[in-house]
Amino acid sequence: MTDRYLVVGNPIEHSLSPIIHQAFAEQLGHELVYTKQLVTLGGFVECVREFREAKGKGMNVTLPFKLEAFKIAEQCCDLARHAQAVNTLSFEAQCCWGHNTDGLGLINDLHNRHGLKLAGSKILILGAGGATQGVLGPLLAEYPSRLVVANRSVAKAAALVAKFTSHAQEMGVSMHACGLDSVDESPAIIINATSVGVDDQDSLDHLFARIPVRGAFCYDMSYGNVARFKEWSEQRGAAQSVDGLGMLVEQAAEAFAIWRGVRPQTEAVLARLRSQSGHR
């Protein structure tokens, strides 16, 4: 029987993951089926149960289920355990393994594709949900001088920072939390990990009025038509604004390697996506 894989989320119609994984499979001569599925809020656990019973091999998890995926994973790799968020499930020998490839995907994209030096830099992350949780550990491992998490709810940002405080201290990184309306410094790198553009119709001028994008490298984890922060920061003087399509491809390659035992090449797949979809 052909191995089956699935990406789930809400919303999910915009997901390019099936195209990416099929391209990886073609590149390496693997035979598999990879599809996407919209899951209702409250229906994630049942979706996983049904997929496992149908002998599915692995699942990618996107908004808003990454924290829930961590809770149902029976075993977790170190990155997922530290993040307490899971974006990749692997079903092996009756065990549901939880992984998080988001951080590695982000770091690979920033380093290898955009040539950023993270060591000693000041980084601002917008948002305090599962996407942020997934990348904080790998970002801290790059030894930035300062890392600030800004969120609409300061309490949520502070709670997230508290989870990583000891790790940040070990790395010698100054780590803090604040509200989106109280950012009072100018970071070199700004990463948007909020869902604005996906499920939020608020004005970015209102949400991010205090975000100092001028002169900064701005990275939007969203891509394509929902990469509103990329467009917004471009219009307001960012030194460079990029979307998260490269991160998507890089984290997908890490997930493919977990499932299939070999890591595919990413550059040609990313170039193909840019060409076919118009996600420049």
Active site residue 230: no
CA distance 245 to 77: 24
Angle between helices 130-140 and 154-171 (to 10 degrees): 20
Q: Could you please report the per-residue DSSP string of 15-80?
A: --HHHHHHHHHHHHT--EEEEEEE--TT-HHHHHHHHHHTT--EEEE-TT-HHHHHHH-SEE-HHH
Catalytic residue among 66, 71, 122, 156: 66
Partners of residue 268 on adjacent β-strands: none
Cα–Cα dist 252/17, whole Å: 7
Backbone angles phi, psi at 89, to 5 degrees: -110, 140
Cα separation of 187 and 160, whole Å? Answer: 20
Beta bridge partners, 253, equal none
Angle between helices 245-260 and 267-277 (to 10 degrees): 130
Q: How far apart are CA 219 and CA 160, in angstroms?
A: 20
Catalytic positions:
66
